[in-house]
Structure 1
Amino acid sequence: MIHILQTILEQAHAGYWEKNIKKNTSYLSPAWKRMLGFQDEELEDSIQTWLSHGLSEDLFPIQNEFEGYLKTKDLQPYEEDIRFIHKNGSIVWLRCTCKVMESDEEGNPLLVLGTYFDVSKSKSVESKLRHTIDRLSLATQTAQVGIWDLDLIQDQLTWDEAMYRLYGISPDQFSGAYAAWEAGLHPDDLLRCREEINQALIGKKEFDTQFRIIWPNQSIHYIKAIGIVQRESSGKAVRMLGTNWDITEQKNAEIALKESLELNKVFIENAPSAIAMFDTNMRYMAASQQWFVDYQLQGVEIIGRSHYEIFPEIGEDWKRIHQECLNGKVRRMDEESFIRLDGTTQWIIWEVRPWYVSQNVVGGILMYTADITALKRKEFERSKLEEILTRTNEAAQIGAWELDLQTNTRVWSKVTKSIFEVEEDYVPNANEGARFFKNETERKKVADALAESIETGKPFDMEIEIEIVTAKGNFLWTRSIGKPEYVDGKCIRLSGTFQNIHDQKQRELALQRTLDIVNDQNERLLNFAHIVSHNLRSHAGNITMLLKILEESTSEIEKENVISYITKASDALMDTVLNLNEVVSIQTNRNLHNSEIGLREYIEKATQIISGEIRKHKVKIRNLVSEEVRVRCNASYMESILLNFLTNSVKYRHPDRIPEITLSANYEKNRLILSIADNGLGIDMNKYGEKLFGMYKTFHNNRDSKGIGLFITKNQVEAMGGKIEVESQLNQGTTFRIILV
């Protein structure tokens, strides 16, 4: 019975499960497992298997509802649509039903049966049923025919060899008398056979009958018998001639078919899906309760009535399909719409196939349908939402991606491919993935995030954005968000989104640069304020003190000395004010007039300006800068920078060796670096490194040192967007590196 029930369920796109509460056993049909992409042996027959493949967000809400259904002792099937995870990771919608088939005396469930069928794709409903019917039809093949001859006068019954084989005996086991034949009949058929023979002898009816015989080994066989009566002229019966042949297989097949049809009718009537059984005249033989529900036939008597009487709106196209199936064809449709008499549209999945009473003999058709109107409505709404989401993603430059860890395959959406500037038919793979990263650091950042997500099961969000190189060589800022998917504790898939944030990132970087400039300016302003406050206060205090001394002086000579000191203090104050004014000029002059100059030419110009000092101290100048090197800068600042570094190199020359100054230029990462190296006194960087470019900071006992030159030079370089680096060793020399845009 389970085999036949399972066959019909599979033909109805349904998987079958059974929970025997009394025996504590479970069963999951292979068809249900195949719906999820598994072979029968891959999944255990347990409720835990069922739970592990369903989505928890669907299972949890119905758990209490299902338990409540069992307690209510409701005779109607329980039905719910649940999502399950396919072996390949996709989501399969199954319509899940169950019904209590057996209960104890108190109404507690003992046996629960259920089905599952895929509402998105129809499957064969009756393939196994047809196979069963075909097997039964093979049992009707005719056996070897035996011939018999009964002499009524002599009571002598003669058999040919086939008769002995039909009765399972040898000639020496048969006396040849009529009573010997009766002795082999089944007791339940003896009286009927005697009556039928008597009716034939008196001429009331032909002898055409079936009966059972018992072989010596006690096996029972069915025999088909046909005979004719020979009479004398007076009409007296004197002889009967006839044939016998074994119809055991046919009778067994007929019995099995009858039982099968009756069982199928019972099952169809109680099936949770919409199934109907028709004869060759399209009259209803059986229909499930779901059929009555789906087609609003509750309370209507349909058994024995024509399908076309019940549904007069059925058109010629459907009648043609029915006739094709009655002629042996199988027709199916995954989805089709019907306009009912009330004007409503109904969407259904349907399949129609013949059922057989014997081999090649069609007994009628089986029709399976599933009402998917609600599902189609949801699909329409979902398609609209997906369309809106697609347009939104395209506008926001958000694409989807998926990494299948089992097959090591990758899937990119259309928007993702657009972000990477690849063709729409591009198939991503692991070997080419590295070429899209700007550098190894970016690649490792992504790889580490994926590995951590797989290990911990946590979603990831690249808070530190990734800069990629597209297929067309463009640099692009992106952000990826994803999460892992687990089955049986194993991560099988990663999926997420990929977003183009280039414009946003550029704005952020621009804003950060602006903030850096503002912060730098604020810091410079604060430092400058401290310098002004300190330096002017010192000069002012000195002059105030000298004026007080002047007031207290009594002799003219003392007053003249004090006045000379005041004059010097005033001159020093003026120098300080001029220096501070120069710094202010650099700091506030952000709209510099830049032009392209030949760097070698300006170096030579600077050496000419201090040529007197160079000749006086026999300084060797090596200008290694190529004439082709040109730089866009403020010409006045560049001249001042070169003069300051050259004069410093001469001023702080080493007394024990001939001064040497080497100027060179090279490009690093698209930036020009001007190096000015000397072999002078050098600077103790450990002691003065942090103060090197401070205002009024001196590091040698040179009376001409004022400590303002490097401060101004640094400000001039930075005003042009560059920076200064320095390397120096005491008594060995100093190298300044001026990095320009």
Structure 2
Amino acid sequence: MSTKDSELSEQYNKIFIEQAPTAIAMLDKDMRYIAVSQRWITDYKMEDKEIIGRSHYELFPEIGEDWKANHQKCLKGAIDICEEAPFKRADGTIQWIYWDVRPWYVSEGKIGGLLMHTGDITPQKEREKERARMIQILDKTNEVARIGTWEVNLSTNEVYWSKMVCEIHEVPENYRPQLETAINFYKEGESRETIQRVVNEAMLTGQPYDVEVELVTAKGTSLWTRAIGSGEFEDGKCVGLFGIFQDINEGKLAEQALSNANAELKAIFNSKSVAIITTNEKGIINHFNHGAEYLLGYSTSEIIGTQIPSLFAKMEEVERFRQDLSQKYGKDPLKGLAENNEFDVREWTYIKKDGSKITVQVTISAIKDTHGEITGSLTVASDITAIKNAEIELLRKNQVLNFAERLSMIGNWQWNTITNEVTWSSNLYKIFNVDIETRLTYDTYFSFVHPEDKEMVTNHVQYSLEEKKFPDLLHRIKLRNGTVKNIQLLAEIMTNDAGEVIELVGTCQDVTEQRLEEIKFRGLLESAPDAMVIVNEAGKINMINKQAEKLFGYSAKELKGKSVEILIPEAYSAKHPGHRAGFFANPKTRHMGEGRELFAINKKGKLIPIQISLSPLKTKEGVLVSAAIRDITSQKIAEGKILKAKEELEVFAKKLVAQNTKLADFTQITSHNLRAPVSNLNSLLGFYKLAQSEEEREDLFQKFESVIDHLTLTLNTLVEALNIRKNNNEDRLEEIEFNSVMVKTQEILAGEIMGTGAVIKSDFSKLPYIAYNKIYLESIFLNLVGNALKYRSADRVPEIYVSSGIENGKKFLKVTDNGQGINLKRHGHKLFGLNKVFHRHPDARGIGLFMTKTQIEAHGGSISAESEVNVGTTFNINFN
């Protein structure tokens, strides 16, 4: 071929490439552009660039060494073909392309450069990805409810069945039914006639349908199904059908279960709790459900065909929505949501037909067809006015709680043992007089520990970390200005799955005043000459003095927290709890066991005759009883001698009277003179028993001294002082109907109950009412029923049963579910701990059973759980 012919051929090639409808580029052996098609320029966004004569690698700097190596192979005669591959552009975007790269020849055997034929398939890949995602979501939904989806495109006569629909028909997952033959799966007769009739009506009039029909599967199985469908219209013409398909065979066999299922499904489609509004691509409302009518007060006929949201939304909120999303996506909000497969959730103010305003939570998303084109928008709104009001009320209560925290000088803290970071509440900064901007670690806290208490605190923390439990700790701190305070630490230790300590959370209270009062009280207690034992209403010993240690032979540490019956002989201990309950029912200062002999028993088992004076003490912990105990062993011995002397004198007097009957006058005098000392002895014995002071006892029996009245006066004075200081913010109890709390709980959780199809039953016939803190009881119901819904089983409809009653004189409440259950062997020890989560739930922030346990125990009750994994859980609450 001549040079002229070669140049002419090359010129023709350039013209052909430039006018080609696909992306083609012609390059020389140096990889410089000779010619490109217009499609090449648009596909790779090079409209504003000079291309001819420039290096391929200069225009595409992102091309890697592996591609360059392939190009060199092609320049030596190889052909490189790829059907699809990701191409990461210099700006970070991913472009999916296919290519065919091969050499072009100047003459036979002589390569002049490369021809590149490529295509941008990014849109197709994105549509495939979105469809795969939707199919995955639908498949997961189908597995739970045995509900599948189907679509019919009347323009292409294509029919789509989801995986579950294929499973119900017992056909392979990749089965593609034909529009003409799909009807043959329905059983001949009424079922086939019914489905033909409702489908025709849906196509002609737009009438949606919901029918129960019987079909025969590909394997010959006969079963009942529920078919729900609706038509899709454009310009008044039906262009497609879509709907859901459900296996209801078991429900059909159990008519009651079927009735419930139908009611639940109808409730979903006709729900008044959720407003569903859709528009077409021009923003014209084309769907307005019953929930929307109920929410806004407009009828469907008043709204359909109007421009959203001109009637019921505040335009400034609409404009804010548009600005926010335009700024986020850089384009029309609906297009931004559609292209990013996202939705927008925010609070709106809706104006009802009557002019009233409500707060709603609105979710807005784009509606796309099977080709990814936007066909309209979907708005789902629910009324959260009550929730917002509750949030405001909760905020107010939190403020009150913070105020109470300041009054009680309590703060809370967290210590991350992994990072050594410490978090304090604002009130804790005030207790330690530290600037709130100070960065906190454990060393920050330890620097405030009083020098004399540092070793004790170090040993306590070390013990807690090793044993994974934190006993209450009382110690002193010394502030920067020299002020010394007493603080009490309470804490809960958190561990990971490996049992390693990762965090401590707790409270810190400034108990300096209480500590000073305790020291004063202890001083008074130790100054008492009698043995003093302080007992709470449960009969547990709170404290004793040194005299009590000497009398009973126990140390204070041995008796603290023990039942007071440990000091009472077995013959009397059985009746003592009843006597104790009687005293607490009517507490007042008095002698115990008047007219009866009382005995105590010491550590060695020896009986000790005693006298006891009881005095009530009103404290923040409740009513305590102070028992002043006196050992009257010596008095008993003296009393015995007196009685013996009395008896001997009486006998002697009788003898004298008998022997001198004849000497009447003398007898009378003698009898008078002898009976007088006997009577005097009797009087002295009576005075001895009634004596109140040591001075009287010293006059009668070597002057025994008593200071019990003085001590009682002192203790009463202290009680009066404690009463003045007592915090009177006690829980207000009221008679509450369980059923009303149950109804309120269901109303609060209505959305989740409907969304899960939960069946909730209750029986309060055995205990309809209870005197309790209403806020606590409502919180307990909400936490336990809410947890049952949140941790429901994926394999069955949630069933929750709540009941109350009385057993062995104790009032109880039970909440039973058929949910996921809890592995109590693994998690039982921390079941009611803080930020503990036992299931991987997103909302799980994890925070709920700890609060319930605290509220129940605040009223003297208890809570326990019985659970089996994948069977369910029962929470048992025993009230005080």
User: Greater RCO between the two (CA within 8 Å, min separation 6)?
Assistant: 1
Same fold (TM over 0.5): no
TM-score (norm 2): 0.24
- In our comparison, the structure showing a higher alpha carbon Rg is 1
